[in-house]
């Protein structure tokens, strides 16, 4: 329901109506005399018995109460509070009596209720006079002789109407409040008498000036002065004060938001000014100057900067919206959600948030450059979120789209906050890809495994898994993101290179539910807050939809030595009286052993140094760790990492559910495709963060942590297959026959193992053993030997076919007839039936020497 309704309604006056109205008000005057609530004014020959009964049945008390005021939202700039936004249910700023100019007080009293200081809420003289202009069942524009106290009653009831929970209830309550009938007037009078008994005249006048509606969604004299004159209500001229009070009786037709209303406002303003002059509240000079003025000369319409849409700071609107939603759930505002909603509507709160408005603006600039919201080839979204690791305080919440709450946002804008859960921003999150691998890594370390342990990184099928303590059959053979990525990897190297098959090998040795629980311990949950995190084999590669803020907080836990701090947006809440109510409590809990966190950080430092996040290291040398994430079709791209002080999540992807690859398109910013730019963008985000939040080096993991409970593969080279089987079993490994391969040595003996001797494996791991078929040998070292010795060495190595080259190498006079070169070269593995050609030294000219045998 629109608040832009006049509190008075005009009806035609007839002679009969005037007479009936006069009789009604005369009876009312007699009633008031009888019950002794106003100064004695004798009205003869009036019967009051029945009227007393009606009057006594009406409510007696009404409270001025807390009026809706503005809520001020603050962020930080260079460590100092700076206003972020003004958010209010009604545009109002409540003032104390001494803060309101005398001109306004005089204009209100002289224009509306000259005997205000003398009566007890109801003025009988005005009341009887108003009866002459009334009709039966209704009252004229005079409002029925309403005093300021009676008008305050009506405004309070109008305000209460606007606070009803439904549109229908608000409409009915509002109509009841402004209805101008004798029963309604009786109620107003009795409540006004009650107000006058409970409150002083100053309190009533202050309440009236703070609550009155002044048109154009503006409430109270301070908001009106700011809106219409761009100044405080403390500093108004007589003309300005009278113009504001001129609006009260007809806020729709006399407000100063439109020039077409100026004439009507001036006409009523001049009546008020004349009354102020008559009451000696203006000098002749002041009066003449005010009367001569024109509203167009002093109206300076200033639009209120209201709501998060108008939040200060580059790209801070989404955080503002999130902070408002958070604070409205805080217990500081009330014990129930209904109480909290009402408290927020009443307003007057100052909210100090955690946002660093400068860092947030810098990150918004990065996203504007590298993920422009003007991209039309795909529905591209992106976000940067930075969280203080040791507290959970949210420092930034930037995204590439602009903030727009309209029903039809342009393609460059949205009301959806990509950074947070659906409850707070409307997003259901995004698949996080390999950034989720960190939870497998953490669970791996928690189970006693080490970073130097070797796992199979070749794509392979795994059928048996452990899920919540039970063995399940679920064949799965994930591919690696990089073609040709095969072989054995240490866990450290597999983490740096993000090898899918290696993490499948790791997960196969763990419980999938334990991996999920590790994620949950670090605050991870689905962004829709209803879907449980998956615990399937494929989920270890990041198939869950999670919000960027959630991932930043999880990685902050690793940076914070294993202590998880839930993200917080509110540092302090101060109420309208200036009382500090506290902010969101820091909820920090140790969820990882510090040594596990340190070892994981060490592994992910390798991602930046020589892995998938090369280019993310900042020039200042701050130790950083990170993990990249890429979904199957590269439609979602991530990089999440941290210093020891601040964690930052960078996400970019399709916002419409499409599978458009970010490896195919570029912003043209000079760092390749959207997918390949992530390390640079993240680096640029962290450079100013490191300056403001200097970080310490991460703890160095112990040798025990790096090794874990792994065992070195024994060297069984040259052993028979049976001896190798026994040796491996004794070390706790399972023997796998890899078959015979071409090789030298005694046929049937071990030529090699996979993993190789010395590799670290967890007990129970399989070791593939390869034996030699004896068909190969190695060309021995024969350079410098004479022909006879060279032939003997070759034959001794099992090489039966030896040939001498037809040409000779140039000699030095002393080395003729010795071996100059051999083909294949020395040390080369060859079949025993292969031919080896030997070249000898000749004379100085390279000619055949004599007697060379």
Whether 767 and 786 map to the same domain: the answer is no
pLDDT band at 67 (very low <50, low <70, confident <90, very high): low
Query: Tell me, what's the pLDDT at 382?
Result: 98
Query: Tell me, what's the pLDDT at 346?
Result: 82
Q: What is the DSSP letter of 537?
A: G
For 271-280, what is the mean pLDDT? 96
Answer with the one of 278, 298, 318 that is the final residue of a domain: 298
Decide if 411 is inside a domain.
Answer: no
From residue 325, how far is each of 68, 387, 525 by CA, in Å? 18, 19, 19
From residue 265, how far is each of 140, 146, 285, 453, 844 by CA, in Å? 20, 20, 22, 84, 121
CATH code for the domain in which residue 715 is found: 3.30.10.20
β-partners of residue 804 are 838
Decide if 244 is inside a domain.
Answer: yes
Whether 63 and 165 map to the same domain: the answer is yes
Answer with the one of 298, 328, 344 that is the final residue of a domain: 298
Decide if 614 is inside a domain.
Answer: no
Query: Tell me, what's the pLDDT at 307?
Result: 81
CATH code for the domain in which residue 160 is found: 1.10.3810.10
For 221-232, what is the mean pLDDT? 93
Instruction: Please determine, for residue 639, whether its predicted confidence score (pLDDT) is greater than 50.
Output: yes
pLDDT band at 2 (very low <50, low <70, confident <90, very high): very low
For 227-246, what is the mean pLDDT? 95
Rounded to two decimals, the pTM is 0.73
Q: CA 166, 69, 229: angle at the middle one, nearest 5?
A: 115
Q: Give dist(CA 88, CA 346) in Å, integer.
A: 8
Extract long-range pairs of 483-487: CB within 8 Å, 24+ residues apart.
485/457, 486/457, 486/458, 486/459, 487/457, 487/458
Helix (H, G, I), strand (E, B) or coil at 177: helix
Decide if 681 is inside a domain.
Answer: no
Q: pLDDT, tens digit, for every residue of 705-762?
A: 899 898 999 999 999 999 999 999 999 999 999 999 888 888 999 999 999 999 999 8
User: How do the residues of the chain divide into helix, strand and coil, expressed in percent and rounded to 5?
Assistant: 40, 20, 45
pLDDT band at 814 (very low <50, low <70, confident <90, very high): confident
Strand 835-840 vs strand 646-654: parallel, antiparallel, or unpaired? unpaired
Q: What is the DSSP letter of 44?
A: T
pLDDT band at 800 (very low <50, low <70, confident <90, very high): confident
State which residues form the domain around 744.
710-774
Query: Tell me, what's the pLDDT at 846?
Result: 87
Best CA proximity match to 110, nearest among 328, 301, 274 = 274
Strand 776-778 vs strand 750-754: parallel, antiparallel, or unpaired? unpaired
For the chain, percent of residues with pLDDT exceeding 90: 67
Whether 761 and 789 map to the same domain: the answer is no
For residues 151 and 688, which has the higher predicted lDDT (pLDDT)? Answer: 688
Per-position b or e across 563-593, b if 16+ CB within 10 A of its CB:
bbbebbbbbbbbbbeeeeeebbeeeeeebbe
pLDDT band at 39 (very low <50, low <70, confident <90, very high): very low
Best CA proximity match to 538, nearest among 487, 496, 500 = 500
Q: Give dist(CA 186, CA 179) in Å, integer.
A: 12
Whether 799 and 726 map to the same domain: the answer is no
For residues 131 and 245, which has the higher predicted lDDT (pLDDT)? Answer: 245
Q: pLDDT, tens digit, for every residue of 765-792?
A: 899 999 998 888 899 999 999 988 999 9
Whether 273 and 162 map to the same domain: the answer is yes
pLDDT band at 5 (very low <50, low <70, confident <90, very high): very low
From residue 115, how far is each of 104, 132, 197, 372 by CA, in Å? 16, 20, 17, 65
Q: pLDDT, tens digit, for every residue of 531-584?
A: 999 999 999 999 999 999 999 999 999 999 999 999 999 999 999 999 999 999
Helix (H, G, I), strand (E, B) or coil at 602: helix
Out of 51-65, 296-310, 381-395, 695-709, the most confident range is 381-395
Query: Tell me, what's the pLDDT at 407?
Result: 65
Phi, psi (degrees; rounded to nearest 5) at 72: -105, 130
Helix (H, G, I), strand (E, B) or coil at 386: strand
Q: Is the omega angle on the peptide bond into residue 824 within 30 degrees of 0, that is, cis?
A: yes
Whether 753 and 811 map to the same domain: the answer is no
Q: pLDDT, tens digit, for every residue of 484-509?
A: 899 999 999 999 999 999 999 999 99
Query: Tell me, what's the pLDDT at 727?
Result: 93
Strand 835-840 vs strand 801-804: parallel, antiparallel, or unpaired? parallel
Q: Give dist(CA 597, CA 642) in Å, integer.
A: 12
Best CA proximity match to 346, nearest among 93, 554, 138, 547 = 93
Q: Give dist(CA 721, CA 719) in Å, integer.
A: 6
Query: Tell me, what's the pLDDT at 249?
Result: 87
Q: Give dist(CA 702, CA 688) in Å, integer.
A: 32
For 513-529, what is the mean pLDDT? 96
pLDDT band at 806 (very low <50, low <70, confident <90, very high): confident
For 239-256, what is the mean pLDDT? 94
Q: Give dist(CA 767, CA 789) in Å, integer.
A: 41
Q: CA 632, 634, 636: angle at the middle one, nearest 5?
A: 105
Q: pLDDT, tens digit, for every residue of 364-403?
A: 999 999 999 999 999 999 999 999 999 999 999 999 999 9
Whether 718 and 807 map to the same domain: the answer is no
Decide if 158 is inside a domain.
Answer: yes
Whether 73 and 180 map to the same domain: the answer is yes
The per-residue DSSP string of 443-512 comes to HHHHTTB-TTBEEE-S---EEEEEETTEEEEEEE-PPPSSTT--SEEEHHHHHHHT-HHHHHHHHHTSBH
Whether 284 and 265 map to the same domain: the answer is yes
Whether 231 and 260 map to the same domain: the answer is yes
For 220-238, what is the mean pLDDT? 93
Q: Give dist(CA 231, CA 323) in Å, integer.
A: 29
Per-position b or e across 326-354, b if 16+ CB within 10 A of its CB:
bbbebebbeeeeeebbbbbbbbbbbbbbb
Decide if 590 is inside a domain.
Answer: no
Q: CB atoms < 10 A from the CB of 602, how many?
A: 20
Q: What is the DSSP letter of 310?
A: G
Query: Tell me, what's the pLDDT at 302?
Result: 87
For residues 571 and 207, which has the higher predicted lDDT (pLDDT)? Answer: 571
Whether 764 and 819 map to the same domain: the answer is no
- Contact predicate 7/154, CB 8 Å: yes
Give the tokens for residue 837.
Answer: 């050609």
β-partners of residue 380 are 654
Answer with the one of 230, 264, 298 that is the final residue of a domain: 298
Whether 762 and 814 map to the same domain: the answer is no
Q: CA 91, 97, 99: angle at the middle one, nearest 5?
A: 70
Among 54-58, 399-403, 421-425, 454-458, where is mean pLDDT lowest? 54-58
For 265-293, what is the mean pLDDT? 96
Query: Tell me, what's the pLDDT at 128?
Result: 62
Decide if 122 is inside a domain.
Answer: yes
As a whole number, the mean pLDDT across the chain is: 88
The per-residue DSSP string of 737-780 comes to EEEEES-SSSTTBEEEEESPTT-EE-TT-EEEEEEE-S-EEE--
Q: Give dist(CA 3, CA 562) in Å, integer.
A: 53
Among 281-290, 339-348, 349-358, 553-562, where is mean pLDDT lowest? 339-348
Q: CB atoms < 10 A from the CB of 192, how many?
A: 27
The per-residue DSSP string of 401-453 comes to SEE--SSS--TTEES-BTTS-HHHHB---EE-GGGGHHHHHHHHHHTTB-TTB
Phi, psi (degrees; rounded to nearest 5) at 490: -70, 155
pLDDT band at 65 (very low <50, low <70, confident <90, very high): low
Q: Give dist(CA 277, CA 275) in Å, integer.
A: 5
pLDDT band at 60 (very low <50, low <70, confident <90, very high): low
Helix (H, G, I), strand (E, B) or coil at 65: coil
Among 244-253, 349-358, 546-555, where is mean pLDDT lowest? 244-253
Q: pLDDT, tens digit, for every residue of 70-124?
A: 899 999 999 999 999 988 766 677 889 999 999 999 999 999 999 999 988 888 7
Sign of the C-alpha dihedral, residues 22, 23, 28, 34?
positive
To 10 degrees, the CA torsion angle through 502, 505, 511, 515?
Answer: 0
- Contact predicate 613/495, CB 8 Å: no
Q: Name the domain count of the chain.
A: 3
Q: pLDDT, tens digit, for every residue of 392-432?
A: 999 999 999 999 876 678 999 999 999 999 999 999 999 99
Q: Give dist(CA 748, CA 772) in Å, integer.
A: 5
Decide if 592 is inside a domain.
Answer: no
């Amino acid at each position: 329901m629109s608040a832009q309704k006049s509190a008075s309604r005009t009806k035609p006056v007839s002679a009969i109506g005037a007479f009936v109205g006069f009789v009604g008000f005369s009876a009312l005057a007699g009633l008031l005399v009888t019950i002794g609530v106003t100064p004695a004014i004798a009205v003869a020959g009036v019967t009051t018995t029945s009227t007393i009964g009606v009057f006594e049945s009406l409510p007696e008390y009404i409270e001025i109460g807390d009026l809706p005021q503005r809520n001020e939202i603050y962020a930080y700039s260079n460590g100092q509070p700076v206003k972020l936004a003004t958010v209010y249910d009604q545009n109002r700023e409540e003032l104390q009596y001494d803060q309101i100019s005398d001109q306004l007080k005089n204009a209100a009293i002289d224009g509306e209720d000259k005997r205000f200081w003398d009566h007890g809420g109801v003025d009988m003289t005005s009341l009887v006079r108003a009866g002459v202009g009334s009709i039966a069942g209704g009252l004229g524009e005079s409002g029925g002789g309403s005093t300021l106290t009676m008008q305050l009653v009506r405004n309070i009831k109008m305000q209460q109407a606007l606070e009803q929970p439904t549109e229908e209830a608000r409409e009915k309550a509002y109509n009841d409040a402004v209805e101008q009938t004798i029963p309604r007037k009786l109620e107003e009078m009795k409540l006004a008498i009650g107000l006058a008994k409970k409150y002083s005249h100053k309190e009533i006048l202050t309440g009236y000036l703070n609550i009155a509606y002044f048109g154009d969604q503006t409430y109270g004299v301070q908001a009106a002065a700011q809106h219409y004159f761009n100044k405080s209500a403390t500093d108004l001229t007589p003309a300005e004060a009278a113009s504001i009070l001129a609006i009260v009786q007809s806020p729709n037709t006399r407000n100063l938001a439109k020039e077409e209303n100026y004439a009507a406002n001036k006409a009523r303003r001049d009546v008020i000014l004349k009354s102020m002059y008559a009451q000696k509240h203006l000098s002749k000079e002041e009066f003449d100057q005010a009367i001569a003025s024109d509203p167009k000369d002093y109206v300076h319409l200033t639009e209120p900067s209201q709501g998060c849409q108008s939040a200060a700071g580059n790209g801070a609107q989404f955080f503002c919206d999130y902070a408002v939603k958070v604070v409205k759930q805080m217990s500081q505002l009330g014990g129930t959600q209904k109480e909290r909603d009402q408290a927020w509507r009443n307003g007057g709160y100052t909210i100090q948030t955690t946002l660093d408005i400068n860092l947030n603006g810098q990150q918004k600039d990065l996203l504007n450059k590298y993920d422009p919201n003007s991209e039309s080839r795909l529905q591209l979204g992106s976000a940067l979120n930075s969280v203080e690791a040791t507290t959970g305080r949210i420092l930034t919440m930037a995204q590439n789209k602009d903030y727009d709450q309209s029903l039809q946002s342009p393609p460059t804008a949205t009301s959806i906050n990509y950074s947070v859960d659906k409850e707070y921003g409307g997003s259901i999150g995004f698949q996080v890809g390999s950034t989720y691998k960190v939870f497998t890594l953490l669970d791996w370390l928690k189970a006693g495994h080490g970073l130097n342990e070797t796992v199979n990184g070749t794509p392979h099928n795994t059928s048996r898994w452990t899920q919540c303590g039970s063995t399940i059959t679920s064949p799965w053979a994930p591919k690696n993101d990089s073609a040709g990525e095969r072989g054995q990897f240490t866990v450290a190297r597999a983490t740096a290179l993000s090898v899918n098959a290696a993490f499948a090998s790791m997960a196969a040795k763990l419980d999938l539910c334990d991996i999920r629980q590790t994620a949950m311990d670090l605050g991870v949950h689905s962004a829709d807050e209803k879907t449980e995190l998956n615990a399937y084999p494929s989920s270890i590669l990041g198939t869950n939809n999670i919000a960027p803020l959630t991932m930043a907080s999880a990685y902050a836990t690793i940076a914070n030595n294993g202590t998880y701090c839930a993200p917080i947006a509110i540092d302090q809440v101060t109420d309208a009286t200036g009382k500090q109510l506290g902010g969101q409590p820091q909820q920090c809990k140790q969820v990882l052993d510090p040594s596990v966190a340190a070892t994981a950080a060490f592994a992910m430092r390798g991602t930046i140094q020589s892995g998938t996040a090369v280019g993310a290291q900042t020039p200042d040398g701050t130790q950083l760790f990170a993990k990249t994430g890429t979904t199957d079709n590269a439609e979602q791209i991530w990089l999440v990492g941290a210093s020891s002080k601040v964690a930052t999540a960078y996400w970019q992807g399709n916002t419409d559910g499409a599978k458009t690859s970010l490896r195919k398109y570029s912003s043209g910013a000079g760092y390749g495709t959207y997918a390949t730019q992530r390390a640079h963008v993240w680096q640029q985000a962290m450079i100013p963060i490191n300056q403001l939040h200097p970080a310490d080096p991460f703890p160095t993991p112990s040798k025990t942590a790096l090794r874990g409970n792994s065992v070195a593969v024994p060297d069984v080279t040259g052993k028979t297959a049976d001896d190798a089987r026994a040796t491996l079993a004794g070390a706790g490994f399972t023997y796998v026959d890899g078959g015979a391969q071409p090789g030298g040595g005694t046929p049937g003996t071990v030529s090699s193992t996979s993993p190789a001797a010395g590799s670290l494996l967890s007990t129970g791991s399989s070791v593939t053993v390869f034996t030699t078929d004896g068909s190969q040998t190695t060309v021995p070292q024969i350079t410098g030997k004479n022909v006879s010795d060279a032939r003997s060495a070759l034959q001794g190595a099992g090489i039966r076919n030896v040939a001498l080259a037809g040409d000779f190498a140039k000699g030095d006079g002393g080395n003729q007839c010795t071996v100059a070169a051999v083909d294949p070269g020395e040390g080369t593995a060859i079949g025993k039936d292969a031919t080896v050609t030997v070249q000898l030294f000749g004379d100085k000219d390279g000619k055949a020497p004599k007697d060379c045998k």
